[in-house]
Amino acid sequence: MSRWTLLLVGLIATLALLAAACGTADEPDDTPEPVEPTATAIVITGSSPTAVPADTSGGSEPPMDENVSVSGIPLDPDARHGGILQTSYTSHSPSFVPWESAAGHSFPVAHLLNNMLIKPRTWGDRDDFRNQVYFELHPDLAESWEQSEDGRAYTFNLRDGVNWSDGVPVTCNDIKWSFDTIRLQQDAGLPTSPRKTHYLAIDSITCPDDLTVVFNLRWAKPAMIEVIGQPYNVIFPAHIYQTEFLETGALRSFREEPSKATSGAYTLTQYIAGEIFVFERNDDYWDQPLPYLDGVEMRFLGPGSSQLPPALRAGRLDIGSTTGYTGGQADTLLAECTEMCQFWEDRVIASSFSPALFINKEREGWMSDQRIHEAFALAVDNQKYITTVRNDWYELPVGCGFYPTSPWAMPKDRCGQIIGFADVVGDTTAERATAAAADKERARQLLKDAGYDEMNPLEVTWTVWAPIQGDIPAFQSDLEEIGVKVTTDVQESATAYGNWATANFDFGLHSFWIAGIDPDVTLYEHFYTGSDRNYNRYSNPEFDNLVNQMSRTLDQEERKALAWDAMEMALSDVAKIVVSHSSYVAAVNKDVRGYMPALNYLAGYGPTYRYAHVWLDR
Write the CB contacts of 565 (distance below 8 Å, at least 6 apart in sequence): 546
Cα Rg for the chain, rounded, in angstroms? 24
Q: What's the mean pLDDT in 51-66? A: 50
What pLDDT sits at residue 58? 38
- Give pLDDT tens digits for 551-603: 999 999 999 999 999 999 999 999 999 999 989 999 999 999 999 998 888 88
Name which of 144, 143, 207 is nearest 172 in CA terms. 207
| Rounded CA separation 423/419 (Å) | 10
What pLDDT sits at residue 563? 97
Q: At CA 119, angle to CA 286 and CA 209, rounded to 5?
A: 65
| Rounded CA separation 463/499 (Å) | 9
| Rounded CA separation 318/91 (Å) | 18
Of all residues in the chain, what percent carry a pLDDT higher than 90? 72
Question: Sorting pLDDT into bands at 50, 70 and 90, what band is 148?
Answer: very high
Name which of 578, 47, 106 is nearest 355 in CA terms. 578
CA distances from 456 to 266, 323, 452 (A): 60, 44, 5
| Rounded CA separation 223/188 (Å) | 24
| Rounded CA separation 514/194 (Å) | 11
In this model, does residue 533 exceed pLDDT 70? Answer: yes
Q: What dihedral do alpha carbons 180, 183, 188, 194 form, nearest 10°? A: 140
3-state secondary structure of 593: strand
| Rounded CA separation 188/205 (Å) | 14
Predicted TM-score of the model (pTM): 0.84
Q: What's the mean pLDDT in 177-205? A: 89
CA distances from 67 to 60, 81, 122, 145, 514 (A): 20, 16, 17, 23, 35
Name which of 592, 105, 612 is nearest 312 in CA terms. 592
How many angstroms from the chain centroid is the CA of residue 218? Answer: 26
Name which of 279, 287, 348 is nearest 603 in CA terms. 348
At 220, which amino acid appears?
Answer: A
- CATH fold of the domain at 3-22+35-56+76-280+585-616: Dipeptide-binding Protein; domain 1 (3.90.76)
- Give pLDDT tens digits for 61-116: 444 568 999 999 999 999 999 999 999 999 888 899 999 887 889 999 999 999 99
- CATH fold of the domain at 356-578: Dipeptide-binding Protein; domain 3 (3.10.105)
| Rounded CA separation 480/458 (Å) | 10
Name which of 342, 91, 583 is nearest 333 in CA terms. 342
Residue with the larger pLDDT of the pair 195 and 175: 175
Lowest mean pLDDT among 139-143, 388-392, 484-488, 513-517: 513-517
Q: Please, what sign has the CA dihedral across residues 241, 244, 249, 254?
A: negative
At 240, which amino acid appears?
Answer: I
Cβ distance 571 to 376 under 8 Å? no
- Give pLDDT tens digits for 273-290: 999 999 999 999 999 999
At 458, which amino acid appears?
Answer: L
Domain boundaries along the sequence of the chain: 3-22+35-56+76-280+585-616, 356-578
Question: Sorting pLDDT into bands at 50, 70 and 90, what band is 348?
Answer: confident
| Rounded CA separation 387/474 (Å) | 10
The count of other CB atoms within 10 Å of the CB of residue 364 is: 8
